[in-house]
Structure 1
């Protein structure tokens, strides 16, 4: 079952979404919240797999709520909004999808299909981590991280490409990795931030990790890869996370689960 939280300041909107979700047998609604503060408590208490989140709410809106949640508690998120202009901002905060009010049933079904795929991929990654630990114990070698295993895999193969061939709309661009500052995930898409422009491509973070040189590009969050050469400053945070400031002035979050990357930036 997919444990689901509904967050919306309008009771009728919550009820309407609840009725639509009742048609899906694998959805279990574990809680509802009417504002950002209630939602933060509900996430900590219920630990949902999925959250349907209204964008506009009083005091703490949907975007502020996501930024306040610890990375390990962050559920997959589908934004629900009456304003289409929020879509790009939603994807920039790594929402799985967004739905416009009133919610269309076919779009809801499409969003849930993406959620199921993301949950399956997350489970596969957890299984892969468990397998790596088992192999380390059996072989008698020190436990290796997933990044180290991927680095070993790349040395056995053809290795990272000198240039990345990416499809941007109806054109294919050969992108020099030197110009990449950071990459973040947005649903089934990645946004590649370069010195001069940004490119949105359909790919996964794992795909991109395998195509980039791990000596220069490291994953610092489940949805962020950074070019280590662009890191200007590293600041610790009270909750064990770090903030990474790039030479462009942009600030990214390094989550606790990737703390082993800190030494690469010192």
Structure 2
């Protein structure tokens, strides 16, 4: 295996049919160059992509709550280097290639057809890695950071809700979840706080203590406390503690926003 290929190629399988996911998982397990980092249906895929940064995604089209095209619209066209659509319907082929899909497989497919699609996807991933390595060596581009999220999909029992990042007032940690507070409405999302912080625009959102991130546009008052700490009052009246070790970072980012108004 080449040095570029020494790192396993991460694969995510997104399909609402358990048997379809199992079939692809078995086929992927036969290839030592790839690692299946997860499998899920549409609503869970947004968080899985953000968490695992897959190199390849095998993606179904028709899924309840969130179809394949809506998923790509949410995460952006560059979130996954190689996307292979897997569906029982041929009528979406043109639309798939319009969103820059690498391949389009019709169910049921043969093992040989899957292996061919996987080989093509792996080749694209290695090309992508080579380009990134060349840019890093020549200084042609700044180091890439995680793509910023403009919206989040919150799965529910009866429906999934799209939450625009700009609508979030503040975010609270809750074990392996976070709670998005938006204009008096709360949404529970399975996401870690550190991952949320990386995905949000640092000029708009700032972590004020271990368990809270605030939208700077919602900050209305800052109240100094004893020993260098502060409390922040948001537009809805919420009071949050600003920890002493994060105060300098908060003030610096708040200054960036203020200077642009």
TM norm structure 1: 0.48
Structure (1 or 2) with the larger CA radius of gyration: 2
TM norm structure 2: 0.49
